[in-house]
Amino acid sequence: MKYTLHQLQIFLEISQCKSITKTAETLHLSQPAVSIQLKNLQDQFSIPLTEVVGRKLYVTEFGMEIAKAAQKIIEEVDAINYKSLSYAGKLSGKIKISVASTGKYVMPYFLSDFMNKHKGVDLIMDVTNKTKVLRSMERNEVDFALVSVLPKKLKVNSVELMQNQLYFVGGSQLELEQVPTQKELFTKLPLIYREEGSATRNAMEQFITKHSYQVRKKIELTSNEAVKQAVQAGLGFSIMPLIGIKNELKEKELQIIPVKGLPISTTWQVIWLSSKNLSPAAKTYLEYLKLNKERIIESHFSWIKNYQS
């Protein structure tokens, strides 16, 4: 048999995503490239690794056993690489971070200098909604998570980073001849929501419930980018995190509409399980974060002060 480490890495991702398309997106490869590597790996075995029923891809029982073996092989190869770097006196290892979707505008700035300095450290960052972030932490699948609201059911330690502020936002092409009352903003205009499980949606619903507004029309979209594009296009209004609309405000593609009681303010925090035995790489990153967070905020996020009252 002549299967390669690259083929095993791709197949392991396929076994987790159950999709050629999602695997290609995760690994930053083309779909044909993923399909070819899957076929090349399958050619090594007489028993099917996957099967397609309808349009859905399934990993067979044999395929799952191969995926488990691939996981062990990849982990051993990683261990060899990390040990060689360690003997050379370099920090090595892997850091896994799960990030609430809007946090993708924040977390990279708190990682870039560290990753550039420590070439032997690998990073895996999963960007998803709050519910899935907390699930991955509860299952001990990650070292850290970036959240804007601390979980109530998990014992965690945390490092506060910066404020997360949510404003009422509309497309700049909308010229309101007569500014609606606050109640009319919610009862007469279509509102665009994030999906269930999103911290932004939770904050938005709590604000609406607190003020007893009856929403006329709801539109639900599954990412902050989708909401942003919809608001820009004039499809409706939304309560959105300021951190994600910097460029659109600068280019006057979006506008903040003053609403009493807004912005909603929470705090971005890096959290980890209190019982977590952090790796040397994770411990070093934590020390870096505590020492450098103020410098990073001042360097990359000082523009936020322009919108704060």
The proportion of the chain whose per-residue pLDDT surpasses 90, expressed as a percent, equals 47
Q: What angle do CA 82, 85, 88 make, to 5 degrees?
A: 150
Predicted pLDDT at 177? 55
Q: One-letter amino acid identity for 212? A: S
Instruction: Give the model's pLDDT for residue 77.
Output: 80
Query: How would you class 132 by CB atoms within 10 Å of its CB: exposed for 0-12, middle for 13-18, buried for 19 or more?
Result: middle
pLDDT digits (tens, 9 = 90+) for 183-219: 777 777 788 999 888 888 888 889 888 888 888 778 8
pLDDT of 89 higher than 70: no
End-to-end CA distance of the chain: 66
Q: Which residues of 60-73 are buried (b: 16+ CB within 10 A; e: fewer)?
A: eeebeebbeebeee
Residues forming beta bridges with residue 170, ordered by sequence position:
255
Whose CA is closest to 225, among 204, 241, 207?
Answer: 241
pLDDT tops 80 at residue 41: yes
Contact 106, 149 (CB under 8 A): no
Largest Cα–Cα separation, the chain: 73
Summarised one tens digit per residue, pLDDT across range 101-127 is: 889 999 999 999 999 998 889 999 998
Sequence-distant (6+) residues with CB within 8 A of 123 are 94, 95, 97, 111, 115
Lowest average pLDDT, out of 74-78, 97-101, 133-137, 224-228, goes to 74-78
Lowest mean pLDDT among 69-83, 206-220, 264-278: 69-83
Q: What is the mean pLDDT of residues 271-286?
A: 91
Identify the pLDDT of residue 229: 93
Separation of alpha carbons 254 and 100, rounded Å: 23
Which residue from 274, 244, 240 is spatially nearest to 257, judged by alpha carbons? 240
Give residue for tokens 């001849």.
Answer: 177
When the pLDDT of each residue in the chain is averaged and rounded to a whole number, the result is 88
∠ Cα 163 207 300 (to 5°):
20
* Contacts of residue 175, Cβ cutoff 8 Å, sequence gap at least 6: none
pLDDT at residue number 272:
96
The arithmetic mean of pLDDT across residues 58-80, rounded, is 87
Residues 6+ away with beta carbon under 8 Å from 31: 20, 21, 24
Q: Which domains does the chain have, with CATH numbers?
A: 5-80 (1.10.10.10), 91-162+267-307 (3.40.190.10), 164-265 (3.40.190.10)
